[in-house]
Each structure stands twice: as C-alpha cells, then as structure tokens.
C-alpha cells in the first residue's frame, strides 16, 4: 500500500492531507511544531525540524510519495529555504520516495500584460523570485539525475477560508462590515488559486504516473479584480451598503512595512497586484482532466466558513 507523507500542515498541507485521506489513501503528516491545528485528528502527525538532514531522513522513512508544502518564515526565505528543500530531497532519495514540491509563480518574469504560461520566461529580478528559480532548477536536476522522481506545482496567490492571511485581512473584515485589506490596486485583473484546488493538484500528480519531471501551473480561477472578489463576498455575507476595500500600496504600504516584516518582504512582489496578473493552467487541465473551482462555488464556501 502506498504511503503519502505531507510535510507542512498549513492551509494547503491540511487540505491536501484531508483530500488524500478522503480518497482512501494512507496518509501521515509532519510539521515543525507538532501542533495539529486544522489537521483532522484521524491523520497521524509527527514533529520534526526538516532542515536537519537526520531528522528529515527519519521523518521521510517509509514514505512512497512526499508532498513538500512546508517553508521557512517569509522573511527568511533566502537564508533557509534552499537548504530546507535540499534536506527533504536528500531524505526522499534515501527513502526511494517521489516528491511533489509546492512552488509558485515568483520565478516568472513580470508579465506586463501577457498571460503567464508554463513556458513563459523565468527571468525574475526579485530576491524571492531568484530563490524560487534556483530551487526549481535544483529539484528538476535531481529528477534528471535519477536521484528522486520530482514534480513541481505552481499555483498563483491563494484565496481560501483556511488561508490565515486571507481570512484575517479579507473574510473576517467583511464579516464585521469593515473594509477588506488587500495588497496593491483593486481594479486589475488577477488570477487566484483556491486553496482546495492547489491541494487537489498536488494529489493529482502524487497519485498518478503523469506529470513527473516538470513544473505545472495548477488550476487558476477566472481572472477577476480584487474589488469584484470583495463585492461578491460582501453580498454573500449579507452586508448592507457599498462594499468596503482598502488597497495597501505606495507610501501607505511602505510606512506600514517599516513595522511589519511580512509587508516589507511583500513590497518587491507588488507588481503582481499593480498591473494585470493573469496565468493559464491549460496544460495541467488538459493533462489531468479538471479545472479550477468556480468563483460562485468558492465564494459560497468561503462565506459559509466565515459565518461558521
């Protein structure tokens, strides 16, 4: 029987573990804290510092497919992320396990109005974009060398009720009738990824013989402006009056970033929200036979979660 190991139990990791378990797979999970959070109590959880090669090797032992969804703090990507991934890949090689890595769109060049596809140029000039490029190249080189079977998934920016930043800044604010707070402009079309879709995409690869040895832009929802998302959620949550949304950008964002390290790190990625940022997941959808959740369904699910 195939054993699926999920590394990281945040929004995507927990959703992934639940998806795999719901489809009858043997699943266990590992995180740094040992705290279960949203992870279902029936899914075995162990604690490990996966940046430690010995701890990673012990955690991965016995797994057939490993899903790498964990990451360092956003402010420590450059210093810690490459070595963390290297430790996990070495552990997977030692265990003879396949690895599905959660990547993102940072490595692609700023689109300047073009649609991002799997084959778009990867010439990012941001610090975090360069980190992602180097990590992806190293992972795919390990696959090419026969060290471990590897695939990468590249969702866009997440929306979802269990994604903490989105819940805190958008859903909870709207539920209170207060202005939602989003990064960048509110009037530019943007491709978002729904957290359950990002998780399902990793499972689709990990439970298949299709898709290995490459990266995939995974299902993105129909392009929409952030103002339109807020309007839909505002209405779904039964709020009265004009929807309220504040776009954090420019001088105001820079001022807030002085006191908030997460925002300071986000400044270099603002091009994603200050101009059209549209991606295509057509290749994945053709290969795996499914596409993103509709906005109608996602909004209904997020609104229900906010009410609960």
The residue-averaged pLDDT of 172-177 equals 97
Which CATH number describes the domain made up of 3-155+195-216? 3.40.50.720
**Residues 194-239: tens digit of each pLDDT:** 999 999 999 999 999 999 999 999 999 999 999 999 999 999 999 9
Hey, what are 197's tokens? 């879709």
- Those residues with Cβ within 8 angstroms of residue 121's Cβ, 6 or more apart along the chain or in another chain: 108, 109
CATH architecture for residues 157-191+222-280+294-307: Alpha-Beta Complex (3.90)
As a dihedral over the C-alpha atoms of residue 82, residue 88, residue 89, residue 90, rounded to 10 degrees, the angle is 110
Angle between helices 295-307 and 226-236 (to 10 degrees): 50
pTM: 0.96
The pLDDT-based confidence of 144 (bands split at 50, 70, 90) is: very high
Residue spans of the domains in the chain: they are 3-155+195-216, 157-191+222-280+294-307
DSSP-assigned beta bridge partners for residue 158: 193
Cα distances from 68 to residues 56, 89, 151, 152, 225, in angstroms, run 12, 9, 10, 10, 30
- Those residues with Cβ within 8 angstroms of residue 57's Cβ, 6 or more apart along the chain or in another chain: 90, 91, 94, 95
As a dihedral over the C-alpha atoms of residue 21, residue 24, residue 30, residue 34, rounded to 10 degrees, the angle is 50
Q: Is pLDDT at 121 greater than 90 in this prediction?
A: yes
Tokens 């906010």 sit on residue: 306
Tell me the C-alpha distance between 256 and 271, whole Å: 18
Same fold, 3-155+195-216 and 157-191+222-280+294-307: no
């Amino acid at each position: 029987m195939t054993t699926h190991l999920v590394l990281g139990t945040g929004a995507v990791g927990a959703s992934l573990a639940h998806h795999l378990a719901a489809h009858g797979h043997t699943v266990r999970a590992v995180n740094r804290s040992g705290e279960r959070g949203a992870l279902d109590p029936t899914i075995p959880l162990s604690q490990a510092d996966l940046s430690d090669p010995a701890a990673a090797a012990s955690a991965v032992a016995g797994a057939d497919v490993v899903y790498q969804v964990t990451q360092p703090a956003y402010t420590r990507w450059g210093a810690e992320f490459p070595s963390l991934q290297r430790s996990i890949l070495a552990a997977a090689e030692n265990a003879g396990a396949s690895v599905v890595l959660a990547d993102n769109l940072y490595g692609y060049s700023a689109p300047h109005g073009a649609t991002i596809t799997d084959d778009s140029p990867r010439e990012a000039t941001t610090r975090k974009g360069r980190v992602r490029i180097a990590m992806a190249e190293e992972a795919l080189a390990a696959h090419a060398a026969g060290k471990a079977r590897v695939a990468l998934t590249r969702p866009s920016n997440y929306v979802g009720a269990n994604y903490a930043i989105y819940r805190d800044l958008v859903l909870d604010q709207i539920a209170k009738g207060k202005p939602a707070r989003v990064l960048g402009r509110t009037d530019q079309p943007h491709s978002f990824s729904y957290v359950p879709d990002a998780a399902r995409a990793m499972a689709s690869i990990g439970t298949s013989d299709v898709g290995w040895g490459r990266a995939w832009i995974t299902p993105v929802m129909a392009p929409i402006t952030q103002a339109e998302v807020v309007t839909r959620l505002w209405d779904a949550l039964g709020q009265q009056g004009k929807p309220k949304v504040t776009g954090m950008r420019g001088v105001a964002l820079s001022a807030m970033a002085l006191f908030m390290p997460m925002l300071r790190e986000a400044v270099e990625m603002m091009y994603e929200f200050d101009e059209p940022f549209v991606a295509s997941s057509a290749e994945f959808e053709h290969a795996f036979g499914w596409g993103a959740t509709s906005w109608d369904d996602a909004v209904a699910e997020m609104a229900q979660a906010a009410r609960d």
